[in-house]
A and B are shown apart, each in its own frame.
Chain A
Amino acid sequence: MIITIIMIGLLISGTLAWFSEGIKVNSARWIAIYTVFGFFVFFVTSIILTPLSFNELTLLTRLPWIDSLHIEYAIALDYLSIILILLTFFLAIICILVSWQEITDKKGFYYFNLLATFAGIIGVFSATDLFLFFFFWEVMLLPMTALIAIWGHENRYFAAIKFFIFTQISSLLMLVAIIAMAYFHYSQTGRMSFFYPDWLSLNVPIEISRYIMLGFFIAFAVKLPSFPVHSWLPDAHTQAPTAGSVLLAGVLLKTGAYGLIRFVIFLFPQAATEFAPIAALLGVISILYGAKMAFAQTDFKRLVAYSSISHMGFVMLALFSFNTIAYQGAIITLVAHGLSSAALFSMAGMIYSRLHTRDLNNMGGLWSSAPRMGGFALAFAAAAFGLPGLANFVGEFLSLVGAYQVFPVTVIFATFGLVGSAIYGMVLFQRCFQGPASEEIVDLSARELVISGSLFIMLVIFGLYPNLLFSYFTQIGIN
């Protein structure tokens, strides 16, 4: 029931925040942060206290929903989803903190949308009925689109529509795949089922699973995003409000990776293995193309957006090498990229609030007036280009070491992403903070210091002691 309570709670307090803003100004953000923090604590304590072990998918709730089609409300967790939900909560707090002063318009509705997106994401990470999964997939999409379209920057409608259409078309493919799979279950057992464990026990012939897998794969590849379906991301990231970008990069992209692990690789191992060389190739192209495109950008947020594409390429490559080391690398890359890209987007927001521009050409020399900000920006850029000691390095290193056992030539190309990331990372940092001083700005405020500091500490902790995550992953692996 933990997850259900949290999701309903988030929605209720979201509604509460919406209405209370009309009664008392600025109450919405307090409600939002208390709620998220409260449920964060609630989630952590219940996970610790529960006698269940989450080494494999553990069912928490299973209720009939639409009986005629055997659609169920089924919620389950394992360590993968727990880690991603914890990441979601952590970044949710960051999201609210970065919106603290940025959002001035329709505040109540804003926090409603934010909380609704969190609820949807948590649902995605825990749904075990594929119809329910699809439902949450859409739930998380709508408020996200609203966040971009209402509180975004100058080109927000275009970006929101582009984001919506990309995701809709791809999730349509997934819907077709889900229905096909449910129908296949019907033809095999005489009973319709959308229940994930039911599907796991099915033996789908390769001729069919190949196509069904592809349906899922495309949906998740768009979300990840992978080359060549990545182009919604730069627009959406650039135009979204800061919290929107943090949420998109930090968590929403991870739903794509999560889907790849749970619904592509575990459900269709044979078809996925067959498809692996192509997926790995797409991963490498994403790494190199993303890094190259990031270098070409002059918009701070666009640059970070392309760097996300590059990082997610490592995840794709690692997942499709079917190797335990690479799999661990992929998981830690998910967490690390969640933190580092959230950090860079927060940094973009902080700079924007001072300079009212995202254009790198209009920045420069900010270090002299804002040394703390510069220090954190460098640390976050360093995390992005994989400096050892920060979390991203562990992820990239393990991904590449593991993938090298399977695709040596591909990995050699992928490794050149390290040069590409150094180039864009340095360009980003130097164009903002070095060179002749363009303007005097105020250094980080206490609130911003908390945001940057907590993200940085997390990056260091996972960079130097990743066993905190790995200790849960000793049993699980892809064989």
Chain B
Amino acid sequence: MINSYSFFESPILALLPFYPLLSFLLLITFAKRLSWSQASFLSIGAIGLSALSSAVMVYQLQDQDFQIITVTLWSWFSVGNAQVNVSFYLDALSSVMMMVVSGVGLLIHIYAAAYMKTDENFSRFMAYMNLFIVAMLILVLADNLVLLYLGWEGVGLCSFLLIGFWYQEKANVLAARKAFIVTRIGDTAMAIGLFMLFSALGVLNIVDVNQMAQNSWQVGNESAYWIALLLLGGAVGKSAQLPLQTWLPDAMAGPTPVSALIHAATMVTAGVYLIARMNGLFLLAPEVMQYVAWLGAFTLLLAGVAALVQTDIKRVLAYSTMSQIGYMMLALGAGAWSAGVFHLMTHAFFKALLFLTAGSVILALHHQQNLFKMGGLSKRFPIETGLFFIGLICLVALPGTSGFFSKEAIIAELWSSPTAGAGLWWCAIIGALLTSIYSCRLFFLAFLGQNREEMHKNDSVGDELSRLRLPLIFLAVLSLFGGLISLDLSSVFIANTSIIEHSKEPSWLHPVAITTPFIGIVFSWFYFKQYRRNTGKPIVESQTAFVKFCRNGLGFDTLYYSCLVRPYCWLAKVNRLDIIDQIIMLNAWYITLWHDALSALQNGKLRWYAAALGLGVVCLAGVLIGGNS
């Protein structure tokens, strides 16, 4: 029934993820021997080929029955009777992801080639970016969970490499390590989930898992509950949701194109993709759906609050990413699958735009990332300001922008959803309010008012910025009009069992949802007046304990540090010498003791021997006499 092809029948899909792999190998082998133009040609060309193939495949997909194409490359291994193949599965959902990864990936690569031009390890950087695209494409195209896990770990490794790209700075090294280990904790949960899944159903193929789960389990099945919960563990790690969200702000240590590609547009949404992919399973565990929704809601509020007080422009965007992924999770939890994936796509457009524009600004300011030292940038970089503004109105979801369509689609489904409800609806509204407030604060601080830092005279940044602009303009267009792309995911998602009754909803829901961002803007207009109309005097950032607490991500880092990191290090330190070894070596000590004692007796001194002999005779005599009487 499903069209399953071999390599030769569908080489375009089979080769799609591997062009960047080839380019990665070439780049890493020849490294510094390649000139800038050669290296950029290779890396961008490879992604270009992937993007082109993606477009062709999306076109071909329309003609297929069931709109599904699978292609099997080779058999990887078998687990019992279940074959685990290296094969790709393309349906409406994975084609959306594939287009986002290769399309947005291509734009970011073009930007990165210009942005990183002067870095001495340019080839290495592009090599990692290519490798990341390979792993990400494998992740989204995998037809079974083990291959998905391969991509999943692969993107984690690339994220590690790219966060720590400037590895000579201690802070970057630690950020990279943190990102890898925290996500690995989630991955471990996911791995256990896979073991359970296999022992319960005996298959690991995604389609089979969803189908068999639907056929053989009732809603509320205990296995489904645990498996879904464990997969959620993997998803929260990768997507930086509570309680494994702490790595994302630190991950901003990487170069800005990395933040745009990995930590905004693609990798961090892998968790959303996983849950959407496994929708057949999650529908059987309504409690877990509720957890998903609540985790998303908490994350979006927490990240929104944290974003309000950040001083680093990239960290504001990082928290904003976290909070937008919270929306996606909220949507998934409410069963609004399509809306969640739609928001994933539009978010990829506008957040990539925001990050990259911020990157341009940061580059022009000679790596100044502190908002409080910016100000008045709209006069210096009017085009960048315009682009950033477009990104922000999408983020805030002003009517007409892509963010508006996707976010409204989510909010509209919450109130009556069986796994969400009014409470979560209000969370989403408050989140939207927070989003518009921190966005305004960011915009006012950076772009309005007067410059608060000394300007470097005779800067030739104009040239450099114009080279970076082309991909930004594409992204801006996508951000503005991406909402008009209609996604038809009905073939992928199993309709939520109970049909949502929109008729019982109060009539004020929509007006409230639409006006909320404006309320935030009006509030900020007055509340952040001093930022907006600043005259170039330094602004003192608030340093109260509460603000500091929020700025540090509401204390999660401290909590984990004292509850997990420190005990583990302490345990390692205390037992560095291996207590087991010490115990075993007691034997050696004991034997040495006897050795010393016995060799002390044989010291070659005649009078010791005579004394011992005498003592021995006396003792013997004593024993004999005592024994006789």
Contacts and interface: CB of A to CB of B under 8 A. Distances in A.
Binding partners A and B: yes
Contact of A412 (B75, B86, B192, B581): B192
B166 to A, nearest CB: 10
Interface string A375-408: 1001000100001110001100110110011001
Contact of A387 (B74, B157, B168, B572): B157
B77 A435 contact: no
A464 B86 contact: yes
B79 A437 contact: no
Interface string A442-469: 0000000000000000000000111100
B463 to A, nearest CB: 30
B167 interface: yes
A430 interface: yes
B544 interface: no
Given A411-B195, A434-B164, A419 B184 contact: yes
Given A387-B153, A415-B191, A465-B74, A422 B80 contact: no
Contacts of B67: none
Interface string B252-276: 0000000000000000000000000
Contacts of B31: 371
Contact of B181 (A367, A411, A423, A465): A423
A288 to B, nearest CB: 11
A423 B188 CA distance: 13
A83 B455 CA distance: 68
Nearest to B168: A436
A426 B170 CA distance: 14
A431 to B, nearest CB: 9
B195 A401 contact: yes
A433 B86 CA distance: 33
Nearest to B177: A426
Contacts of B188: 415-416, 418-419
Interface in A323-374: 324-325, 365, 367-368, 371
B157 A435 contact: no
Given A418-B184, A430-B177, A434-B173, A388 B153 contact: yes
A297 interface: yes
Contact of B150 (A293, A388, A418, A433): A388
Nearest to A158: B588
Contacts of A427: 177
A434 B75 CA distance: 37
B77 A388 contact: no
B576 A415 contact: no
A397 B146 contact: yes
B173 A415 contact: no
A295 B573 CA distance: 9
B180 A426 contact: yes
B519 interface: no
A404 B177 contact: no
Contacts of B585: 231
B291 interface: no
Contact of A382 (B76, B146, B157, B195): B157
A292 B192 contact: no
B184 A389 contact: no
A275 to B, nearest CB: 21
A227 interface: yes
Contacts of B576: 296-297
Contact of A401 (B79, B167, B584): B79
Contacts of A422: 180-181, 184
Contacts of B157: 382, 387
B299 to A, nearest CB: 22
A465 B76 CA distance: 6
A208 B579 CA distance: 34
A118 to B, nearest CB: 29
Contact of B580 (A231, A295, A405, A465): A231
A394 B150 CA distance: 11
A294 B154 CA distance: 24
B413 interface: no
Contacts of A197: none
A470 interface: yes
Contact of A365 (B77, B168, B180, B578): B168
Contacts of B571: 292
Contacts of B192: 411-412, 415
Interface string B135-172: 00000000000100110011001001100100110100
A478 B580 CA distance: 33
B573 to A, nearest CB: 7
Contacts of B78: 470
B185 interface: yes
Given A375-B28, A416-B188, A430-B173, A400 B195 contact: yes
Interface string B23-65: 0000010010000000000000000000000000000000000
B77 A434 contact: no
A296 B154 contact: no
Nearest to B77: A466
A389 to B, nearest CB: 6
A296 B194 contact: no
A387 B184 CA distance: 11
Contacts of A365: 167-168
A418 to B, nearest CB: 5
B334 to A, nearest CB: 30
Contacts of A433: 167
A367 B31 CA distance: 13
A230 B191 contact: no
Given A405-B199, A434-B173, A419 B572 contact: no
B575 interface: yes
Contact of B80 (A293, A324, A437): A324
B581 A231 contact: yes
A398 B185 contact: no
B572 A296 contact: yes
A401 B177 contact: no
Interface in A156-195: none
Given A293-B578, A397-B191, A398-B77, 11 more contacts: A296-B572, A371-B31, A401-B79, A401-B195, A405-B199, A418-B188, A418-B191, A434-B167, A434-B173, A464-B76, A470-B78
13 contacts: A231-B580, A292-B571, A292-B572, A368-B168, A387-B154, A388-B149, A389-B154, A404-B199, A408-B196, A418-B188, A418-B191, A430-B164, A464-B76
**Top 4 A-B residue pairs of the complex, sorted by shortest distance between their CB atoms:** A231-B581, A296-B572, A388-B150, A434-B167
